[in-house]
Amino acid sequence: LQGQDIRLTPTSYIVLGLLELTGEATPYGLKQLAANSVGHFWTLHHAQLYSETERLADAGYLEERRETTGRRRKRYSLTDKGREALERWRAEPTDEMPELRLPGMLQLFFDTDPAKLAPVQLEAARRELAQLEAIREVDTGAGPRGPWLALEAGIRITRESVSFWEDVLARSTPAPVRARRPRSSRA
Amino acid sequence: LQGQDIRLTPTSYIVLGLLELTGEATPYGLKQLAANSVGHFWTLHHAQLYSETERLADAGYLEERRETTGRRRKRYSLTDKGREALERWRAEPTDEMPELRLPGMLQLFFDTDPAKLAPVQLEAARRELAQLEAIREVDTGAGPRGPWLALEAGIRITRESVSFWEDVLARSTPAPVRARRPRSSRA
DNA sequence: TGAAGCATGTAATTTGTTACATGATTGG
DNA sequence: CCAATCATGTAACAAATTACATGCTTCA
């Protein structure tokens, strides 16, 4: 019934955390939940939810209940072991600082022309910032503190990225030459 | 001699980029090079260098030359195809904005007590910031622009993280109670 | 009613990480 | 000369991404 101990990954805790919030859900339901909550800074593919729930259930962190009607989907919920694991995780704040693997930085590092790179990255960063800020509009701040704070962090960091690329752009193109459309462009 | 087309990943470009800088290297040498350059924001395990160089060589991006003496290690260098691939990569600035998967944010999101989490994350972020700034001390800024800029970006983003956690800390513990050492601490 | 698009699930592929094994070097 | 450490390589393992396959709805 309750297999070997497994290693709990961030993915695991997302599943556990979401199930705590929602009580019970199918893998696909979890995917949706995730997309609308953590999804803004930590995306999971739906395939992952199938394997992860199964893994967690095998190890005794989740209880599996088959629907009796229609498609007889699997619905998962937390066991006591699952709840405890989540609590233990919360009780032990991580000091992990993962690397910031930004593809743009890699190109910058290997001498891609900043004047070419900066505008592209700048626009992408601005788009992302706008999106995050739009989400904050909706979030009244009435709900739980955690998600709100995480969103705040995302906004601040993204804003810093925007500012960084703005500076790079400014430094790399003193006089940004915009291609002016010639009178007659036909050759 | 020159196998199928393969997908070039960030790892690939690191290998190509480093080989462009250094001319020729063994996988292990690449690992060292990487550790001292991109390593500050993009770490590669040495095992990866073995597989990646082989993969790239099979696909014709690298030339493989065995040492004739001693251990007869494999030394790799760029082929024209490799050089071209690197150039094409540089010519096409990416607009990818990867997710910031910060474990600390996940804990924050799922309602870990900020008063517990913030100090730990704050210290980690400060340590990292200090490290990056130490590196910048050494870097006179005389070398190529790219690495310097990437470092700059890292510093700015990390600095913002520090500031974020400072704020969280300030907001979560209005009166930071520091455990005062009692007169006699023995029970 | 049938085409589009979500919902649901599994499988293959790729990538990254850890672990193992052993060869060389070198300071004590 | 031996123990520790670095260098070198392979293999096993775990995880994430992509692809495939189909079932259900629904709205034109």
Q: Å from B69 to nearest chain A CA?
A: 33
Q: What is the rounded average pLDDT of the residues B104-125?
A: 95
**Mean pLDDT estimate for chain B:** 89
* CB B70 within 7 Å, strand C: yes
Which tens digits make up the pLDDT trace of B35-82?
999 999 999 999 999 999 999 999 999 999 887 776 778 899 999 999
Which residues of chain B make contact with A117, given a CB cutoff of 8 A?
A: 93
* CB B10 within 7 Å, strand C: yes
Q: Å from A144 to nearest chain B CA?
A: 8
Which tens digits make up the pLDDT trace of A133-185?
998 988 777 888 999 999 999 999 999 999 999 999 999 876 555 556 666 54
Given this model, what pLDDT does residue A120 score?
95
Q: What is the rounded average pLDDT of the residues B72-93?
A: 94
Which tens digits make up the pLDDT trace of B126-145?
999 999 999 998 877 788 89
**Mean pLDDT estimate for chain A:** 89
* Among the partner residues B93, B150, B161, nearest to A120 by beta-carbon distance: B93
CA of A7 to C1' of C21 (A): 26
* Among the partner residues A42, A106, A124, nearest to B42 by beta-carbon distance: A106
Exposure letters B15-33 (e unless 16+ CB within 10 A, then b): bbbbbbeeeebbbebbbeb
Which tens digits make up the pLDDT trace of A49-82?
999 999 999 999 999 988 777 677 889 999 999 9
If you measure CA to C1', which residue is closest to nucleotide C14?
A: B7
Q: What is the rounded average pLDDT of the residues B6-28?
A: 94
Whether B111 sits inside 8 A of A105 (CB atoms) is no
Judge whether residue B187 has pLDDT over 50.
Answer: no
Given this model, what pLDDT does residue B4 score?
67
The Cα–Cα gap between A98 and A102 comes to 12
CA of A19 to C1' of D13 (A): 28
Q: What is the rounded average pLDDT of the residues B25-37?
A: 93
Q: What is the rounded average pLDDT of the residues B3-10?
A: 84
Q: CB-based burial of residue B13 (10 Å sphere; 0-12 exposed, 13-18 middle, 19+ buried)?
A: buried
Q: For the whole model, what pTM was predicted? A: 0.88
Judge whether residue B17 has pLDDT over 80.
Answer: yes
Given this model, what pLDDT does residue B179 score?
59
